Structure 1
């Protein structure tokens, strides 16, 4: 009897068909999932999905129920609340479902993996969300990114991305009224800043980093490099380039992984854009290129190796549209504390060759690896939305043949001018005013996301800051 074929039509040998049991990440069918879980004696499965903030939401269930055709659902309002858990007023085009109906969780079995920090054998799987008719829910993050990727696919293109995620390790902070402080490393001393690329700085947290690698390997997640950044106990993880949805999934899981590893060692890992005064902010730089699906060639380069018109149009689209999409890359009040003159982050929409002071940097590379690095997103961004926003802006530039400005080799943020939205409400207004986003992201997402961000700003305005008590209490 001939060997059966998998869903892609590729003929597999019996050994190949059983190889999924050794896979650390992903299976092809629920039947394989049942065997994979049984082989590892998995007791529970976490069915998770990112909300608009990138927080893991979902349900845990026994492994036997997961493989037993059990229907999973979450209320729609879960994707319409603020980061503080509040439900904002309906404003603009933001509206709640009148019945708060259920959204169905559909497991993406290609993401099935272990949860290596759990004491009991546990697995996790990332889920998509559909409505009762089976249609994708347009305002959920994974579906927003999928919508943008479909636009590329319709043009015969496939984007390739590589995120770089910065984060801080900080001492435990149980009272939010107190500022965050750097943790104590293995030397017994509190970590200081100014240790960019310091191996000694990384070695201060050897055991924690070993756990990050161990937890990552257990989930089939691959770290390209890990470095110490300039801030006190600020680290950066670089991921290998690949498919945007897969990389967004990896960032989503990496954040969970790094937080869990830090907690194991009695400290916090934070992805706040600006967690400490007088320290650099944390970014999520995104390297982007586009390949021709048919040939596999980088469309940013011509056959003779020179930059293509598509390359310049991609940059032009970023310059034209990213300021309006900034709310998807800098989603909180705190995000704009990072995008401040003099704080090692771009405050412009300029571009240049190997120029780290610009928003859009073109790293030195050969023609096949030609790419554009978006340096604006902060590490607090939902990775699905940040990637969707950045790629959508480049796409609009390519299909609209938007010409970029001239590249600069100067220090682009030296004059103190800020050519981006300066705060959350300004960014929301720019986002809603861009008609092109209604098509690329969907009208439903634009209205929902803007309404939630306005609600978060109103919540923030209810908090009195130390600055106000220090300078206004006795002087005004």
Structure 2
């Protein structure tokens, strides 16, 4: 091979090439607008997607040229974006659910620490997650990032910092253009449709090697920190675990990861779905959340005493989870479909029990060293908005610690045997959520009213659809 030498610059040129800054070399994020401009220039970015999660966790926003973005131009969305259901409809107003009569603007404020590339786009494109403020610059309390921030501020005021690690389950399914037909698993590299009962199967993961390579590649380019990937119980059901860290950063990562996975799956001619129960008779998909709390100054895990024993905070956090999580279930199981997962005998907790290394309980304490003592909330489903699910579970723990709520005794039995100790449907969960007065300490009333109004609207939309079950068993029998 003949080596090539770089041509010398013309003698008349006085230009010097500026070295990329350390900030420009980062995979993800910038701390100043100048660093953001360097970051974008170093990658030749042409367009910016300014996105924010709506109440359902769906990315909403605007795209613009890079030149306009770095000029810090004003961006806005109509307030109605945060008042429509997952099907795009606008529920009727109630006493606590109201629309802005003018449908005025809300401002998008880019959080440039979230700046990253969009690796599946053919043209150089970046994305940035935005916060939502009103025209006077005040945070809008019912938008998902601000709901979670309110909880984190409560922890900070108490001198604490929560640490979380989400685990997200999802299904790969064959393309389905007609929603009247049931979903089915896709074909893997063997050419055969993968079957269930493949929990932790390496060959099950290998069926989708090329897709998984793309998932890792897309994630790495965005700075998303995947810890492990496994095959779960259902056919073509996978789980990705993210590394533990700051709750807002992890919610951002789940938000971007869902988008990433859908794009990677489409590239391989299949769908990725985070529906809680996409296939009848198969396991549902959860978003388990591991949680611990550290002292904000020392970093010491407040769930452990200095001698390594469990602390009072540890037990009151669990007490708060037991008492308040079932009442906030609507934030962790947000759709009618979510409650199809929360059913007996389906490898899913339907209780509010806790136990040591007991996966049949809603709140599991994994075996760990004192410094890593944590509580896993196994109730949230993967269809939940990650910002709201984290806000709900951490809000319950905060209420437990600040109100000194005592837990029950840990169970050593199979906790899923017996009655269901949770709301059995969306309307019941919404009513329970509204009825808990303590939630006004952790959630803004505007959020509670908005969220419950949307959930009731979604339920009414669902009730307009006649299901196959009704046609099968009622058509000729009643």
1:146 to 149, 164, 171: 149
What residue is the counterpart of 2:277 in the other structure? 274
Question: How far 1:17 sits from its partner (Å)?
Answer: 9.6
Does 2:298 correspond to 1:287? Answer: no
Aligned partners of 1:142, 1:462: CA distance in 2, in Å?
A: 32
CA shift, 1:414, in A, is: 1.5
Residue in structure 1 matched with residue 3 of structure 2 by the alignment: none
Counterparts of residues 100-249 of structure 1 (less than 5 Å): 100-249=103-252
Task: Please list, as runs of the form range in 1=range in 2, the aligned pairs for 1:54-453 lying within 5 A after superposition.
Answer: 54-415=57-418, 417-453=419-455
> For 1:460, which of 446, 459, 462 is the aligned residue?
462
Partner Cα distance (1:467, 1:105) in 2 = 44
The counterpart of 1:44, out of the listed 44, 47, 51, is: 47
Output the TM-score relative to the length of structure 2. Answer: 0.96
Partner of 2:166, secondary structure, is strand
Give TM-score, length-normalised by structure 1: 0.96
Q: Distance in 2 between matches of 1:421 and 1:198?
A: 33
Distance in 2 separating the partners of 1:33 and 1:195 = 44
Asked if structure 1 preserves the Cα contact closer than 8 Å seen for 2:262 and 2:272, the reply is yes
Question: Retained in 2: the 8 A contact 1:286–1:373?
Answer: yes
In the alignment of these two chains, the number of paired residues is 461
- Checking the alignment, whether the CA contact within 8 Å between 2:20 and 2:38 is kept in structure 1 is no
Looking at structure 1, the residues matched to 422 and 19 of structure 2 have their Cα atoms a distance apart, in angstroms, of 52
| 1:92/1:451 contact within 8 Å kept | no
Runs of 4+, deviation exceeding 3 Å: none
Alpha-carbon distance in 2 for matches of 1:77, 1:21: 36
Q: What is the distance in 2 between the residues matched to 1:380 and 1:92?
A: 28
Once the 2 structures are TM-superposed, how far is the Cα of residue 18 of structure 1 from its aligned partner?
2.1
Q: The residue matched to 1:128 in structure 2 has which SS?
A: strand
**Who is 1:35 aligned against?**
38
CA distance in 2, matches of 1:226, 1:403: 36
Quote the Cα distance in structure 1 between the aligned partners of 2:428 and 2:74: 41
Measure how far apart 1:29 and its partner are. Answer: 1.0
Q: Distance in 1 between matches of 2:268 and 2:103?
A: 40
Give the gaps of 5 or more residues in structure 1.
Answer: 1-14
Alpha-carbon distance between aligned partners in 2 of 1:16 and 1:67, rounded to the nearest angstrom: 20
How many Å separate the matches in 2 of 1:109 and 1:17?
Answer: 18
Distance 2:359 2:152 in 1: 27
Distance 1:365 1:40 in 2: 42
Q: Report which of the two structures shows the higher radius of gyration computed on alpha carbons.
A: 2
**Corresponding residue SS for 1:269:** strand
